[in-house]
């Protein structure tokens, strides 16, 4: 018997027990969607040599397949959320997933680099829409006091994409070629899209009503402030993390052969941070993000002060990994809680844009400072950016928006 896909209005904080697909099934589909889209996004990084050779371009030119993705995502996410605001969110997610998959197939069939870039732009726009709606939709599926855990569960997807999806794609590229590899990755978008499109659509109270100037809504300013502070934190992180190998060799004196082990420690610590993020966000919904921000800035400053000893440097890198594992889920959960239901999807787009701006700004800042001031100057600049972000998040901590107030600080 087919599911009834008629939109069902529910309170923003309610658990949609009437849904044809239970919340856990939908959460699993969202996790799979996150895995698929991030694997598609990052897969060219491991396939650039074979792509460049096949398309008869330089590896640096083929790198535009990666660079245009982030730019497109940041430029289109908010506009696409606004354009689709009156449509059922679950169906929009499903269609965006299918468009991302179709664009990846088009990339695989592209006869030239230009055609591949155009296809990637379409895929990136769809990816941005998926990610703008992903966490807000999680908030429609679970009660507020469990939002942090649910968000962390869904964000296992991108972590698995980095640890498993991208390396496997790179390995397949050497065996099957990059075109068949991308075709297989495109197929990953189909199962979660089918689950989402067949499930009964949940429409929260007030959804689609913020058709005017959303930035004038009372909860918009706290969202923008939180996003800005977190973007500065991420800029500090990526300024240093992009050149982590340089920091641990030139700065801490570790041999080059130790870099893979340090990166493994960093990644493993990030998984630990992700595991802690959900319970922390639910137990301390108001203070989790500022606390992580302060610890983040302090950790980077400590790397500057005592990180020249190899053992100490590795310990600090592990702490740093835990904190960057914590930051994205804690941030996205916090934005979802402080945004009123009628602008929650817009807030999701703002959050994704802030994350990408922080990544791009950090990588650019790191390259500029490292060339002029070396590892010490790089860590100083990174710690300064992180401290500025922490200050923004500490100055005024916004209240939870009405309709999202099921979570309270644990005693």
pLDDT given for residue 206 in this prediction:
47
pLDDT given for residue 386 in this prediction:
92
Say if residue 321's pLDDT is above 60: yes
pLDDT given for residue 322 in this prediction:
92
Which is nearest to 196 in space by CA: 402, 404, 32?
32
Q: Which of 17-21, 119-123, 391-395, 403-407 ranks highest by mean pLDDT?
A: 119-123
Torsion-angle region of residue 345: left (phi > 0), alpha (psi -120 to 50) or beta? alpha
CA–CA dist 400, 382 (Å, integer): 30
93 pLDDT band (50/70/90 cuts)? Answer: very high
Q: Which of 200-204, 242-246, 266-270 ranks highest by mean pLDDT?
A: 266-270
**Which region among 164-178, 236-250, 279-293 has the lowest average model confidence (pLDDT)?**
236-250
Rounded to 5, what percent of the chain is helix, strand, coil?
80, 0, 20
**Average pLDDT value for residue range 396-401:** 59
pLDDT given for residue 120 in this prediction:
95
**pLDDT tens across 114-166, in order?**
999 999 999 999 999 999 999 888 988 888 888 889 999 999 998 888 888 88
**Average pLDDT value for residue range 86-115:** 94
pLDDT given for residue 111 in this prediction:
95
Angle (CA) 259 367 255, round 5°:
20
Say if residue 409's pLDDT is above 50: no
Say if residue 13's pLDDT is above 80: no
**Average pLDDT value for residue range 72-83:** 89
Angle (CA) 281 285 286, round 5°:
135
344 pLDDT band (50/70/90 cuts)? Answer: confident
404 pLDDT band (50/70/90 cuts)? Answer: low
DSSP conformation letters of 222-256: HHHHHHHHHHHHHHHHHHHHTTHHHIIIIIT---G
CA–CA dist 349, 352 (Å, integer): 5
294 pLDDT band (50/70/90 cuts)? Answer: very high
Tell me what the pLDDT averaged over the chain comes to: 83
pLDDT given for residue 18 in this prediction:
36
Say if residue 398's pLDDT is above 70: no
CA–CA dist 108, 183 (Å, integer): 6
CA–CA dist 205, 131 (Å, integer): 21
199 pLDDT band (50/70/90 cuts)? Answer: low
- Which tokens sit at 295? 């610890």
**pLDDT tens across 20-59, in order?**
445 888 999 999 999 999 999 988 878 888 898 999 988 7
pLDDT given for residue 202 in this prediction:
56
Residues belonging to the chain:
411
**How crowded is residue 210: how many other Cβ atoms within 10 Å of its Cβ?**
20
Identify the structural domains of the chain with CATH numbers, from first to last.
Answer: 15-203 (1.20.1250.20), 214-395 (1.20.1250.20)
pLDDT given for residue 402 in this prediction:
52
CA–CA dist 247, 241 (Å, integer): 9
Angle (CA) 347 355 185, round 5°:
100
Specify the pTM.
0.77
**Average pLDDT value for residue range 406-410:** 47
Say if residue 180's pLDDT is above 90: yes
CA–CA dist 32, 120 (Å, integer): 20
CA–CA dist 37, 16 (Å, integer): 26
Q: Which of 206-220, 265-279, 389-403 ranks highest by mean pLDDT?
A: 265-279
At 10, give phi and psi (nearest 5°).
-135, 155
Find residue 9's DSSP bridge partners. 203
Percentage of residues in the chain having pLDDT higher than 70: 86
């Amino acid at each position: 018997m087919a599911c009834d896909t008629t939109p069902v209005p529910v309170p923003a904080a309610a658990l949609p027990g009437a849904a044809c697909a239970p919340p856990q099934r939908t959460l699993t589909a969202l996790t799979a969607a996150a895995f698929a889209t991030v694997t598609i996004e990052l897969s060219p990084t491991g396939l650039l040599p074979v792509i460049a050779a096949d398309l008869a371009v330089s590896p640096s030119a083929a790198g535009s397949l990666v660079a245009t993705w982030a730019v497109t995502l940041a430029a289109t996410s908010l506009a696409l959320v606004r354009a689709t605001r009156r449509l059922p969110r679950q169906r929009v997610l499903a269609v965006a997933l299918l468009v991302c998959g179709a664009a990846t197939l088009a990339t695989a069939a592209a006869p030239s680099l230009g055609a591949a870039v155009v296809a990637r732009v379409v895929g990136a726009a769809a990816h941005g829409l998926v990610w703008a709606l992903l966490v807000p939709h999680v908030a429609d599926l679970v009660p507020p006091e469990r939002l942090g855990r649910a968000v962390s569960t869904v964000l296992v997807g991108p972590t698995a994409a980095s640890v498993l999806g991208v390396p496997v794609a790179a390995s397949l590229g050497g065996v099957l070629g990059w075109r068949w590899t991308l075709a297989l990755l495109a197929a990953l978008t189909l199962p979660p899209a089918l689950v989402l499109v067949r499930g009964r659509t949940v429409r929260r109270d007030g959804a689609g009503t913020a058709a005017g100037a959303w930035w004038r809504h009372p909860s918009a300013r706290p969202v923008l402030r939180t996003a800005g502070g977190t973007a500065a934190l991420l800029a500090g992180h990526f300024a240093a993390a992009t050149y982590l190998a340089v920091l641990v060799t030139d700065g801490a004196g570790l041999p080059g052969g130790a870099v893979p082990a340090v990166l493994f420690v960093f990644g493993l610590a990030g998984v630990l941070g992700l595991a802690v993020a959900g319970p922390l966000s639910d137990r301390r919904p108001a203070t989790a993000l500022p606390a992580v921000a302060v610890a983040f800035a302090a950790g980077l400053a400590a790397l500057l002060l005592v990180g020249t000893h190899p053992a100490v440097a590795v310990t600090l890198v592990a702490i740093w990994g835990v904190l960057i594992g914590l930051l994205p889920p804690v941030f996205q959960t916090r934005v979802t809680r402080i945004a009123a239901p009628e602008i929650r999807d817009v807030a999701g787009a703002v959050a994704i844009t802030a994350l990408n701006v922080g990544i791009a700004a950090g990588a650019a800042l790191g390259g500029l400072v490292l060339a002029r001031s070396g590892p010490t100057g790089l860590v100083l600049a990174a710690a300064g950016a992180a401290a500025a972000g922490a200050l923004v998040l500490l100055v005024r901590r916004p209240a939870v928006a009405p309709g999202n107030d099921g979570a309270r600080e644990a005693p």
